[in-house]
Amino acid sequence: MRHGRKSKSKRFNGYKRHIAADLDTELILACAITPANRPEEEAAPELQADIARLPSRSEIGSLHIDCGYIGSSLVQDVLVRRGDVFCKPWVARNRGLFTKADFIINMRNRTIECPAGEVEHFQPGSVVEFDPDACGRCPQRARCTMASPDSGRTISIAEDEQLQHRLRKLIAAPKGRQALRERVAVEHRLARLARKQGRRARYLGIRKNLFDVRRAAAIVNLETTNRQMSLAA
C-alpha cells in the first residue's frame, strides 16, 4: 500500500489525482494519477503531455498551481516564455524564533541581512551561516537561534530562491492575493471530480485508475458545458 501525507495529522493511502483546468472555460484539460507517496511535481510532465495533445492547444500564459508543483519542469517552461506563475510560497517556521521572513534577502546582490544588521553573501541552493563571533555577541541571539555557542545562525537558500522571493512579494500585495484566489476554481473541479469518481480507487494499478479519472473528468466537462449552454440560452 502506498501512503502519503497532506500534513502531519492527515494521511491518505493509494493514489493521488492531478488535473489541469482552464480557468476561463472551467473545463478539465488533463488528468494524471500518481502513487500517494510520490511528490506532486512528478505528475506535471503527464499533464503537460495531455495538454500538448489537445487539437486547439495553446501556450500556458498564466499558471496557477499548488506549491507541491513548484519544482516541476512545467514551471520553468512557463517562466522561460515570460509567463506568470501564481503559487503560495513556502512558509518558513522556526518554533517562535526569527524566521527566514525576518531576514532581508537581496536577490540582485545575493546578500542576506539578519535582523541585527549582519550581512552574508549566498549562492542559490546553499546554506548560509552567519559569523559565529557576531552571533555570539548579538543581543538578539536568544530570539534568533538555538545553535551551540560556537555556531552562527544558518539560513537555507533554495535553488528557486528567485522565484520564491517573487512569490513572497506577490502575496504581500492585494492584487497578488486576489490572483492566488483564482486557483480555488481548480479545487472546485477536483471536488466535483471526486464526487463523480468516488473516494476509493476502483482498480489496481495506475493505468486503469487513470482511465477511470479521465472518464469522470469527461462527465464533469459535459455537465459544465451543458450548464454554460443553459445559462447562455
From 162, 10, 16, select the one nearest 89 (Cα to Cα).
162
**CB of 87 closer than 8 Å to CB of 167:** yes
At 70-104, the pLDDT tens digits run 989 889 889 988 889 999 988 888 888 999 989 99
Report the chain's mean pLDDT, rounded to a whole number: 89
| 85 and 197 part of one domain | yes
Band the pLDDT of 15: cuts 50, 70, 90. Answer: confident
CB 200 within 8 A of CB 17: no
Residue 172: other Cβ atoms inside 10 A: 9
N-term to C-term CA, the chain: 49
Instruction: Clarify whether residues 50 and 115 are in a common domain.
Output: no
- Apex 49 CA angle, 48 and 50, nearest 5: 90
pTM of the full structure: 0.80
Same domain, 140 and 192: no
Question: What are the grid coordinates assigned to 56, written together?
Answer: 486547439
Same domain, 32 and 141: no
Structural domain of residue 131, as residue ranges?
Answer: 100-157
